[in-house]
Amino acid sequence: MFPRWLVPEMASALKRTIEALMERGAVVRNLENLGERSLPYKISKHNQDHRRGGYFLVDFDGPPTIVSTMMDHLGRDVDVIRPTFLKHRVSKTEECSGIIPVNYEDKLYTKKK
């Protein structure tokens, strides 16, 4: 997330982060812009209060050791309000079989083995 800057500033900030990622040996797959909107709550960072920001999503593949160093690096960047790293979970919702009725009687008493 970036605070409200002019578009070239935002572009340069993005470029910096992606270069930093690639320096540490990550392969950047995709960059998505989730739009610029007002933040859900006021965030104060780097002695400033931010109410609007641009949201960006970077898909990359890299070693897990990269996370701590990148968080450090992005924390120091004035243009970045809230850096977050998430695992890219491959979602599979094909096998949802519905609510299976639970037999509560069995669960009430512990089975002594």
Partner 1 sequence: MAATLVVSSRVSGRLQQILAAGKSASASCAVLWRRGYSSQQEQVSHKVDLPIEMENPYKEPPKRCVLCGINVDYKNVQLLSQFVSPYTGRIYGRHITGLCGKKQKEISKAIKRAHVIGFMPVVYKDPTFLNDPKICDIRHPE
Positions touching partner 1 (CB under 8 A) are 1, 34, 39-41, 43, 53, 55, 81-82, 84, 86, 91, 93-94, 96-101
- In this complex, which beta carbon is closest to partner 1, that of residue 7 or of residue 86? 86
Which tokens go with 25? Answer: 């040996």
Type of residue numbered 58: V
- Shortest spacing between CB 85 and partner 1, in angstroms: 10
CA-closest candidate to residue 59, choices 34, 83, 38, 32: 32
Coil/strand/helix, residue 49? strand
- Shortest spacing between CB 109 and partner 1, in angstroms: 21
- Shortest spacing between CB 14 and partner 1, in angstroms: 17
Query: Which residue reads 């109410």 in tokens?
Result: 51
Q: How many CB atoms lie within 10 A of CB 74?
A: 19
Q: How far apart are CA 10 and CA 27, in angstroms?
A: 21
- In this complex, which beta carbon is closest to partner 1, that of residue 47 or of residue 91? 91
Which tokens go with 87? Answer: 């695992």
- Shortest spacing between CB 67 and partner 1, in angstroms: 15
- In this complex, which beta carbon is closest to partner 1, that of residue 14 or of residue 53? 53
- In this complex, which beta carbon is closest to partner 1, that of residue 55 or of residue 60? 55
Which tokens go with 73? Answer: 């690096």
